[in-house]
Amino acid sequence: MEVNLFHRTEERMAAITAHLQAAGVTVLEGTAERLLPLSHDRALCLREGIYAADVVLVPLEDGGDRCEALVSMGKTVITIDLNPPLSRTAQTATLTIVDELTRALPPRITQACRNMTHETGEQLMADHDNQRLLYAALQRMQETLADAMD
> C-alpha 47: how far from its chain's center?
18
Low-confidence ranges of the chain (pLDDT < 50): none
Count up the domains in the chain and report the number: 1
The pLDDT score that the predictor gives to residue 16 is: 92
The pLDDT score that the predictor gives to residue 107 is: 73
Domain contains 126: yes
> End-to-end CA distance of the chain, in Å?
46
Domain contains 88: yes
Domain contains 32: no
Domain contains 138: yes
Long-range contacts of 80-84 (CB under 8 A, 24+ apart): 80/104, 80/105, 80/109, 84/134, 84/137, 84/138
The pLDDT score that the predictor gives to residue 85 is: 67
Specify the CATH number for the domain of residue 134.
Answer: 3.40.50.12640
Residue 11 CA to residue 61 CA, distance in Å, equals 20
Residue 59 CA to residue 100 CA, distance in Å, equals 10
Residue 18 CA to residue 8 CA, distance in Å, equals 15
Domain contains 115: yes
The pLDDT score that the predictor gives to residue 62 is: 66
The pLDDT score that the predictor gives to residue 122 is: 84
Instruction: Specify the pTM.
Output: 0.83
CA separation (Å) from 7 to 31, 62, 73, 147?
A: 15, 11, 23, 39
Look up the domain containing 64 and give its range: 54-149
Three-state DSSP state, 119: helix
Domain contains 35: no
